[in-house]
Each structure stands twice: as structure tokens, then as C-alpha cells.
Amino acid sequence: MRVKSERDFWSGLVFVVVGVVFAGGATDYGMGPACPAQDPCAANLWARFSQLSAQPGAGYFPLGLGVLLAFVGAVVLFKSLTLESDGGDPIGAFAWRPLVAIVAAVVFFGALLEPLGLVGSVTVLVCISSLADAEFHWKSVLASVTVLTAGAWLVLVWTLKLAIPVWPGFLG
């Protein structure tokens, strides 16, 4: 069997591997309450699924997400082996700058959330991640900082009531 799209083949393979690894890792956590032997959910798969959906355990979501990711990867992998693409759709040069910028932005966000608060850490996140693009515009960075900080505060602090510091610790 010949690979007809190199890009789809490798991305599908990565999706399948990551999905299987996450699904396998999720089996170490509880899925939810077990069905007693006399309960109808013990014999019926859909009844068991609905019970787990009502009271999911810690491993329920990562398992479902891993299986879904592996399924999507399998579809992409199948497509890469069956549908013809122009010139085999080769993989181009690896984009190191965006990869390093995005990973660094997420790492710095996590490390600076406690000392700088949500406002400071989102600002650092947006500034570092904007370096991934070759074109850097301060107006768009400031607009992104404003919108993302307000959205993060709205969702995380106001709606979900998470105990995340909003302002840097030295401001009180």
C-alpha cells in the first residue's frame, strides 16, 4: 500500500499514537460508580454509559478524549492511504519558531500565574506567543491581551469561581 499524502499519514499516525497513549493512561483512574450485578446497567451497555455520564469518574473524560483522538487519527490515516493528493503532499520544513514560542508561552503562563496573577500571566502569554508570527504588531497584541484577560477573568474567576489571583501578589 502506497502513502498518497505524506502530511496526512504522519499527522494521522501521531493522532493515533497520542490517543492510544492517553486512553491507556486513563485506565489507571476510576471511570465512575460500578453497577451492582442485579442492576440493569450491568447487562446493557447503553444503560452503563448513561450511568457513567451522570456520575463520571476521573478517567472518564481522558479515556473518551483519547479514544476520539485515536479514531480521528485513524480516519486521517485511512484518508492518506486511499485518496490521491497533488504530488504526495510532502511535509515541508519544520517550523521551529512557532513551536518554541507557543511552548515557552504556555510554560511561562503556568510558572507566572501565582506571582503575577491572571492579568500579568496572560500578558506574558500573549506577548511570547505573538513572537511565533514573523509580523509583530503592538496594537493587535494589546487588543489580544485585553480581550483574553477579560475572557479568562469572566470564565475562570467570575463564572467558575476558581481561586486564581487576578492581580500580582505585590499589589495586594
With cut-offs at 50, 70 and 90, classify the pLDDT of residue 145: very high
Q: Average pLDDT for residues 46-52, to the nearest whole number?
A: 64
Tens of pLDDT along 1-10?
787 888 899 9
Q: Tell me, what's the pLDDT at 39?
A: 67
Q: Where are the alpha helices (DSSP H) in the chain?
A: 6-26, 45-54, 60-82, 96-129, 138-152
Q: Tell me, what's the pLDDT at 108?
A: 97
Residue 41 scores a pLDDT above 80 = no
3-class DSSP state of 52: helix
Tens of pLDDT along 61-120?
888 899 999 999 999 999 988 887 777 677 778 889 999 999 999 999 999 999 999 999
Q: Tell me, what's the pLDDT at 42?
A: 57
- Alpha carbon distance 43, 30 (integer Å): 20
Q: Tell me, what's the pLDDT at 62?
A: 86
Q: What is the mean pLDDT of the chain?
A: 86
Tens of pLDDT along 116-133?
999 999 999 999 999 998
Provide DSSP, 85-102.
Answer: -GGG-------HHHHHHH
What pTM does this model have?
A: 0.60
Q: Tell me, what's the pLDDT at 44?
A: 64
Contacts of 170 (CB under 8 A, 6+ apart): none
Residue 18 scores a pLDDT above 70 = yes
- How far are the Cα atoms of 8, 13, 78, 112, 168 from residue 82, in angstroms, in the given order? 11, 15, 6, 47, 54
- Alpha carbon distance 119, 133 (integer Å): 23
Q: Tell me, what's the pLDDT at 63?
A: 85
Q: Tell me, what's the pLDDT at 128?
A: 95
Query: Helix 6-26 vs helix 60-82: angle between axes, to the nearest 10 degrees?
Result: 160
